[in-house]
A and B are shown apart, each in its own frame.
Chain A
Amino acid sequence: MTGPLIDIRDISVGFTGKSGATLPVLRNIDLKVNAGESIGIVGESGSGKSTLALAAMGYLKRGLRLMEGSVAFQGQDMFARTRTELEQIRGGELALIPQNSGQSLTPTLRIGAQLVEALRLHADVPEAQYSAKAIELLGQVRLPDPAAIMTRFPHELSGGQQQRAAIAMALAGEPTALLLDEPTTGLDVTTQAHILELLRDIARDRGMAMVYVSHDLGAIARVCDRVVVMYAGEVVLEGSTRQVLKTPIHPYARGLLASIPRLSDPRLPVALDGRPPAPGGAGQGCSFVDRCALAQDGCRTSRPDLERLPSGEAVRCFHYQEAHQLSLTGSGAIPASLDGASPSALHLDDLAISYRRPGLFDKVLGRDSAGVPTVNGIEITVAKGETLGLVGESGSGKSTILKAIAGLLPPSGGKITVAGGQALAPEVEHRSPDHLRKIQLIFQNPDDSLNPRQTIAQILEQPLKLYFGLTGDALHQRSADILDRVRLGAHYLDRLPSQLSGGEKQRVAIARAFAAEPDLVLCDEVTSALDVSVQAAVLDLLNDLKATQGTTYVFVSHDLAVVRALSDRVAVLYQGRLCELGPSADVYAMPSHPYTEVLLGAVLEPDPDTAPTLSADDVVELSPPAQGCPFQRRCPRKIGRICDTDTPPWQHGTQGHAIKCHHSIADLATAQAEGAAGQRA
């Protein structure tokens, strides 16, 4: 066959808004995907990237409709095909790997049944061999014990396993093209790295084309040959992965890259101010004009075309030749940090937390049901004005520790003391108003943590009334001041959370925490639900507040680069146990605890010249081992029996850097230096 495999020509997709006008979600998009090629589509939420990928399958979400243009797969128009023809192609020649496999697998059907269904519909296999073929597919996506996985229900698998099962299902029809809609979002770093390597291998072995939709430039850099950058429903830049990630010529792409925190760079990323226009709100001119540093008057009045350059790039900008003036590496501030010793603001003394409480029946039967605690032996001191980062994968207990400090989950052992050596009551109900005020918590998702029926004023007034007894004008004035401190104007006071963007909502959540004038702010994945450009702004804000208010943070995130950007010291957790603790610069450099090494190796940088190091299996452990080192089952540097039986000692380095391992720091340094040399060779 000649010509591109997927040929999207000038499509526009829209929905009917409340006013009756048609609001576009995609505007005049051209995209060609050749056989065996892998293309990345990047953009922030609302850019239309998923809609574009689904449109390639001839599918539009409810309420959307094709306004113009055509989508051809293998030369035939997908929107002109009959239902039967579409059923043949979808899941056959053209397969999808969905964003959230946990929700995309039917909960009442076993994995085997869903896989066999895909084979029945699309594979050229005799019925008797369905189950053998299904087991083979599960083996190909490197799932352990495929025969057992066949009989499981989706919820009985871990996130990574669900994603692998979904990949196996997509491969059942021997597709020539795979569409991937954020396939690794929500997975742990090591799992993500493993899944991406698997996808690369599969695509290469089978010569499949891939359309990889993601907001994660690191993943795109690893998987794609070519990248399309979308903004407000338009393609603004297209080029080879190297061109787009190394020398982007569109101001938005440059801003996006500069807003990504990097492992190798301790500086804060630069925020991209403003937000994209809502569908239909782009106006006459360039859709990026309001946020663009290069914008001139002409950009407001006419819309630039997608210009194809001899270099093979395509760019939608009048001033792309000047784009190189915009900085690409974060010129952001170096995070505020302490000088000299400060008194302690928080001390966790041998903290242990157990989720399981003995039930009535256990008590009656005298059973000891507590078992091995979820979190154990946490001993950390946080100095006043310091930011402590807690990192680890899901299940590492980092959020659990925050809940214990906040008093939401009473510890089963140990003590929590605050400044002045005062012990905190384990339950929040028994804490004094002063302690309650001094410790504030900011949650991951502002959609869940802000009451949708309260105005911003009501949300902010609550802590002000509760802790300071303010009323009337003073109350109003203080709310406005606080809003100003998080860089939102007083006109936001009368709005409801639903009228704010994600980043603005998180600022309100931060404002609510700071309204109490806290000493200690606990941040639980506060940027995880935000787009990367917004994330940079929130990090900058948190850093600013720390500098002006002298606040102490405990900052929890699964994203190692984000933690690096904000933290003075970092604690690495695995299975609720400390592995490593020290100043950020030391933790992020070798020598490291073997687990930190595995984590750092798996991080994907938005740079096509880097590759992750996968040194441990991404096995999911449900509970920590009863004795020995918590990382014993996955450790690539395991010594032997001693790791299984003895709790490792702290190996102390310089400047308070400590690693909990049976290896000495010198041994780790030698081994890791050799490993790094071996990689370069």
Chain B
Amino acid sequence: MLAMLLRRLFLGLVTVWIVSMIIFAGVEMLPGDSCTAFLEREAQGKLLENCREAQGLNRPAAERYFDWATSAARGDLGISANGEKSIAELVGDRLGNSLLLAACSLALGVPLAIFLGVVTGLWRDRPVDLAVSTLAIFAMTIPEFVSATVLILIFSVWLGWLPGIVLTSASAPASEFFPEIILPVLVLTMVMTAHILRMVRSSVIEVMVGDYIQMATLKGVPYWRIVFRHALPNALLPAINVVALTIAWLLGGVVVIEVVFNYPGLGRMMIDAISDRDLPVVQAIALIVATVYVCVNLSADILTMFANPRLRTLHMRRG
């Protein structure tokens, strides 16, 4: 068991390491560097040489990668190319904001998705299932920027209940993001709920026609007891992995929403850094997002293993 955990952790670290090399190589292959970006038109001759000298860009790539990777491992992500500010500090604020957005969306979306998934699964092909499943398809297919715009139109422009854009500064404490954060949370919730609910629905349907549910019925177990004790613990196991993927998506991939609502999260910072050619920041964010993916998936696997007695014995036996 412990050996399994250590093995998985080790493999996770290897993944992050490989990803870090790919990120570094990718950025390296781009034409130009942070000096050409910073100096713009003056990026030539002596000035460029001096800049590169000052930033250590003249050293061999392997050496620079080693420096970058070792300091990143220590938590030091370097200095932003233009602002001379510590990236760890800049990214830290943004990561916190992204976490806030993700946490609010998850807190709202996961229980809602599981509830609706179970309801539609149990009442398969009934009106409630048809209505919810149709809405879910809409929520999944309408692009986020469209639904975001529509919500802004309704709640900010017509009704005037909620602010349509986030004006709070990136380093403000979490409490100051209310109520501006509500609309982005709503849009994200819609999309993720639709995904998770469809997965839960099909899993509930599959479990409910299973032999052990028939057996429980014929053992005289009352219906709701069957649902909660026999069906759901099995039906919700696959949900763990989908929720994990959603978390990773929320922390790194909600660029469109952050741009539409002007929300100061990681996604928008990445976009800004790319257009500014702020390559150290791009590298740092890519590395953070990769690490988040690895961590979240690892925790999901471990959680599934603990929740599923079959997997648990399997790993116990293997030692």
Contact = CB atoms under 8 A, between A and B. Distances in A.
Contacts of A104: 211-212, 214-215
A91 interface: yes
A71 to B, nearest CB: 14
Contact of B216 (A57, A89, A95, A106): A106
Interface in B220-256: 220-223, 229-230, 233-234
A118 B219 contact: yes
B227 to A, nearest CB: 12
B234 A108 contact: yes
Interface string A96-131: 101110011111110000000110011000000000
Given A100-B211, A155-B310, A106 B230 contact: yes
Contacts of B209: 62
B7 interface: yes
Contacts, number: 82
Contact of B309 (A98, A118, A155): A155
A59 B213 CA distance: 13
A619 B83 CA distance: 74
A155 B313 contact: yes
B313 A59 contact: no
B308 interface: yes
Contacts of B219: 90-91, 95-96, 117-118, 121, 169
B218 A59 contact: yes
B220 A107 contact: no
Contacts of A156: 309, 313
B313 A96 contact: no
Interface residues of A, number: 36
Which residue among B210, B218, B220, B309 has the maximum number of chain A CB atoms within 10 Å of its CB? B220
B217 interface: yes
Contact of A87 (B221, B229, B308): B221
A79 to B, nearest CB: 15
- Residue from B7, B219, B221, B313 whose CB has the most chain A CB atoms within 10 Å: B219
Contacts of B174: none
Interface string A545-586: 000000000000000000000000000000000000000000
A106 B223 contact: no
Interface string A283-298: 0000000000000000
B3 interface: yes
A86 B220 contact: yes
A650 interface: no
A107 B229 contact: no
A18 interface: no
A88 interface: yes
Contacts of A89: 220
A361 B3 contact: yes
A117 B216 CA distance: 10
A99 B223 CA distance: 22
Contacts of B220: 86-92, 121-122, 173
B221 A107 contact: no
Contacts of B216: 106
B2 to A, nearest CB: 12
B221 A153 contact: no
Interface in A405-454: none
Contacts of A59: 214, 217-218
B221 A98 contact: no
B119 to A, nearest CB: 18
Contacts of B234: 106-108
Contacts of A98: 211, 214-215, 218
B77 to A, nearest CB: 33
B123 to A, nearest CB: 14
A54 interface: yes
A83 interface: yes
B308 A108 contact: yes
A62 B217 CA distance: 13
A76 to B, nearest CB: 16
A58 to B, nearest CB: 10
B214 to A, nearest CB: 7
Contact of A83 (B223, B307, B308, B309): B223
A96 B229 contact: no
A87 B230 contact: no
Contact of B215 (A83, A96, A153, A361): A96
A91 B218 contact: yes
Interface string B185-220: 000000000000000000000000111101111111
A57 B218 CA distance: 8
Given A87-B220, A122-B220, A173-B220, A105 B309 contact: no
Contacts of A83: 223
B91 to A, nearest CB: 36
B125 to A, nearest CB: 11
Given A108-B234, A173-B220, A103 B309 contact: no
Contacts of A61: 214
B11 to A, nearest CB: 11
A361 B8 CA distance: 13
Given A89-B220, A90-B220, A153 B313 contact: yes
A90 B217 contact: yes
Contacts of A86: 220
B5 to A, nearest CB: 13
Nearest to B307: A108
A606 B132 CA distance: 55
Most A Cβ at <10 Å: residue of B3, B7, B210, B211: B211
Contacts of B210: 103
A117 B221 contact: yes
A361 B313 CA distance: 20
Nearest to B233: A108
Interface in A40-69: 54, 57, 59, 61-62
A105 B216 CA distance: 8
Contacts of A95: 219
Contact of B310 (A62, A87, A121, A153): A153
B4 to A, nearest CB: 10
Contacts of A109: 229-230, 233
Nearest to A89: B220
A112 to B, nearest CB: 13
Interface in B273-295: none
A87 B222 contact: yes
Contacts of A88: 220
B313 A107 contact: no
Interface string B303-317: 000011110010000
A96 B218 contact: yes
A96 B222 CA distance: 16
Contacts of A105: 212, 215
Contacts of B217: 59, 90
Contact of B221 (A91, A108, A166): A91
B106 to A, nearest CB: 24
Contacts of B214: 59, 61, 98, 104
Contacts of B7: 361
B177 to A, nearest CB: 39
Interface in A218-247: none
A173 B310 CA distance: 29
A582 B215 CA distance: 45
Interface in A168-202: 169, 173
21 contacts: A59-B217, A83-B223, A86-B220, A87-B222, A91-B219, A91-B220, A104-B211, A104-B212, A105-B212, A106-B230, A107-B234, A108-B233, A108-B234, A108-B307, A109-B229, A121-B219, A155-B309, A155-B310, A156-B313, A169-B219, A173-B220
Interface of B: 3, 7, 209-212, 214-223, 229-230, 233-234, 307-310, 313
Given A117-B221, A155-B310, 16 more contacts: A59-B218, A86-B220, A87-B221, A92-B220, A96-B218, A99-B211, A104-B211, A104-B215, A106-B216, A106-B234, A108-B234, A108-B309, A109-B233, A117-B219, A153-B309, A156-B309
The 4 closest A-B pairs by CB, nearest first: A91-B220, A91-B219, A90-B220, A104-B215
